[in-house]
């Protein structure tokens, strides 16, 4: 089969489009012919490597998969359209799970075929196209989990960083459908108008205005009910400062670094809470599908690349030039 592999960690050049052996079916697993695989920031982390995290080379990236079952099992039929819930047991203490195609033992979806545990197979809802379905298993599921953890209700105000990102665009789309008042952050004019179209009430261009000042002005100095932070070190201090009394920050990412300096006094004196979010459960993925279908909303897709052009997609993500999800067309 054709696949994009890495044989070492590094820059774009370590991505190699090549012929590799098909996966050999093993007990309790299903083989999926990959139709589409979405690109996630995790793919960049795995390509570059993170200290203390292992993959065995050659490794196939790609954690966000929609495809077609090669053989049936249980209630699933051969040829059925499915998506892959990406979390598998990490086997490590104090870590919830590892992710298929991420750090861990499973190869991912930058390949025509992928082998995954049968229990990770989820029926693809007919509301979504094959291309749309691949975008929901990572960014959308995480955004959904973060919004659920925020406890926000209709009319509450939420700050969502990075409206153009996978997680940020998903969070804005879903939060709007939940009836939340949304403040979001961008870094250029094009993203500003796209974020507004997605339903954001206030869009702050962080290159032109101060996010904290604009957020406090917009909320009459009261602060926001919750913050969705996937950016990490550079945004944590502001995320904590802009919370209202009793507000909640939900964190899932470290794009700008994993170690932040925050004002602890600002945190406890407003009795705020910080909650981590790691992906979401299989049943949350199904509730996400149902929610999006009931609200008649579809994921935001920036662009579609051929599998052989995975490098171009990585380059675009590293240049932060996308708005929404980039996806790889694999076998469809
Ligand atoms: N915990 C989980 O389960 C989970 C799941 C999914 C993702 N994540 C993590 O969440 C993060 C986002 O993932 P993604 O796939 O959505 O990434 P992405 O599409 O590459 O987006 C990165 C975002 O970070 C923003 N950003 C970069 N530097 C910034 C700064 N100094 N201030 C404010 N914003 C800044 C970018 O905004 P500009 O374009 O405006 O620069 C962009 O919106 C990654 O770290 C990823 O690993 C975690």
Summarised one tens digit per residue, pLDDT across range 214-225 is 999 999 999 999
294 within a domain of the structure (yes/no): no
Q: Ligand 1 atom closest to Cα of 276?
A: 1
Residues 271 and 143 in one domain: yes
Residue 255, ligand 1, Cβ within 6 A:
yes
What is the tens place of the pLDDT at every residue in 62-75?
Answer: 999 999 999 999 99
How far apart CA 96 and CA 99 sit, in angstroms, is 10
pLDDT band, residue 332 (cuts 50/70/90): low
What is the tens place of the pLDDT at every residue in 26-36?
Answer: 999 999 999 99
Nearest to 113 by CA among 60, 50, 52, 176: 60
Find the domain containing 250 and state its range: 139-276
Residues 192 and 272 in one domain: yes
Q: Compute the distance from residue 294 Cα to the ligand 1 centre, in Å.
A: 28
- CB atoms closer than 10 angstroms to residue 271: 10
Q: What's 316's domain CATH number? A: 3.90.180.10
162 within a domain of the structure (yes/no): yes
Residues 18 and 80 in one domain: yes
What is the token pair recorded at 62?
Answer: 């790609």
Residue 239, ligand 1, Cβ within 6 A:
no
Q: Ligand 1 atom closest to Cα of 256?
A: 28
Residues 233 and 182 in one domain: yes
Residues 23 and 120 in one domain: yes
pLDDT of residue 92: 82
Q: Of all protein residues, whose CA lies closest to atom 2 belonging to ligand 1?
A: 278
282 within a domain of the structure (yes/no): no
The values of phi and psi at residue 156, to 5°, are: -70, 160
**Average per-residue pLDDT for the chain:** 97
Q: What angle separates helix 310-318 from helix 41-48, to the nearest 10 degrees?
A: 100
Q: Compute the distance from residue 320 Cα to the ligand 1 centre, in Å.
A: 9
Buried b (16+ CB within 10 A) or exposed e, 167-177: bbbbbbbbbbb
**DSSP 3-state helix, strand, coil percentages of the chain (rounded to 5)?**
30, 30, 40
Residues 22 and 114 in one domain: yes
Residue 256, ligand 1, Cβ within 6 A:
yes
How far apart CA 202 and CA 197 sit, in angstroms, is 11
Residues 151 and 64 in one domain: no
List, in sequence order, every residue forming a beta bridge with 243; answer none if it has no partner. 224
Q: What's the pTM value of the predicted model, to 2 decimals?
A: 0.98
Q: What's 167's domain CATH number? A: 3.40.50.720
Residue 41, ligand 1, Cβ within 6 A:
yes
Residue 167, ligand 1, Cβ within 6 A:
yes
Q: Is the pLDDT of residue 258 over 90?
A: yes
Residues 151 and 264 in one domain: yes
Phi-psi map region of 94: left, alpha, beta (phi>0 left; psi -120 to 50 alpha)? left
Q: Is the pLDDT of residue 244 over 90?
A: yes
How far apart CA 170 and CA 300 sit, in angstroms, is 7
285 within a domain of the structure (yes/no): no
| Cis previous bond, 58, omega within 30 | yes
Report how many domains make up the chain: 2
The DSSP symbol for 154 reads T
107 within a domain of the structure (yes/no): yes
Residues 126 and 49 in one domain: yes
Q: Contact at 8 Å (CB) between 66 and 77? A: no
Residues 22 and 130 in one domain: yes
Pairing, β 301-306 against β 2-6? unpaired
Of 96, 142, 148, 253, the residue with max ligand 1 atoms within 8 A of its CB, to mutate for a pocket test, comes to: 253
């Amino acid at each position: 089969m054709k696949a994009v592999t890495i044989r070492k960690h590094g820059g774009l050049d370590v991505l190699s489009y090549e012929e590799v052996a098909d996966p050999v079916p093993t007990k309790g697993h299903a083989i999926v012919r990959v139709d589409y695989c979405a690109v996630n920031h995790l793919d960049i982390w795995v390509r570059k490597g993170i200290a203390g995290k292992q993959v065995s080379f050659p490794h196939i990236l790609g954690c966000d998969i929609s495809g077609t079952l090669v053989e049936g099992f249980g209630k699933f039929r051969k040829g059925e359209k499915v998506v892959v819930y990406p979390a598998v047991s990490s086997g490590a203490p104090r870590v919830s799970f590892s992710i298929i195609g991420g750090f861990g033992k499973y190869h991912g979806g930058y390949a025509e075929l992928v082998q995954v545990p049968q229990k990770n197979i989820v029926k693809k809802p007919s509301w979504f196209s094959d291309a749309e379905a691949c975008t929901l298993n990572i960014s959308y599921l995480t955004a959904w989990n973060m919004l659920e953890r925020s406890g926000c209700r209709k009319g509450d105000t939420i700050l969502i960083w990075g409206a153009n990102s996978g997680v940020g665009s998903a969070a804005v789309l879903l939060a709007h459908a939940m009836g939340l008042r949304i403040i979001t952050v961008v870094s250029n004019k094009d993203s500003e108008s796209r974020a507004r179209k997605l339903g954001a009430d206030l869009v702050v261009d962080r290159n032109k205005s101060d996010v904290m000042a604009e957020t406090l002005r917009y909320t009459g100095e009261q602060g926001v009910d919750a913050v969705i932070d996937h950016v990490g070190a550079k945004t944590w201090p502001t995320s904590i400062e802009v919370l209202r009394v009793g507000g909640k920050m939900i964190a899932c990412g470290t794009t700008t670094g994993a170690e932040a300096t925050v004002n602890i006094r600002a945190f406890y004196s407003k009795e705020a809470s910080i909650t981590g979010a790691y992906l979401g459960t299989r049943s949350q993925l199904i509730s996400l599908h149902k929610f999006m279908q009931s609200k008649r909303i579809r994921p935001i897709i920036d662009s579609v690349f051929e599998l052989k052009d995975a490098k171009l997609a990585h380059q675009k993500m590293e240049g932060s030039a996308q708005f929404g999800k980039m996806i790889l067309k694999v076998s469809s």
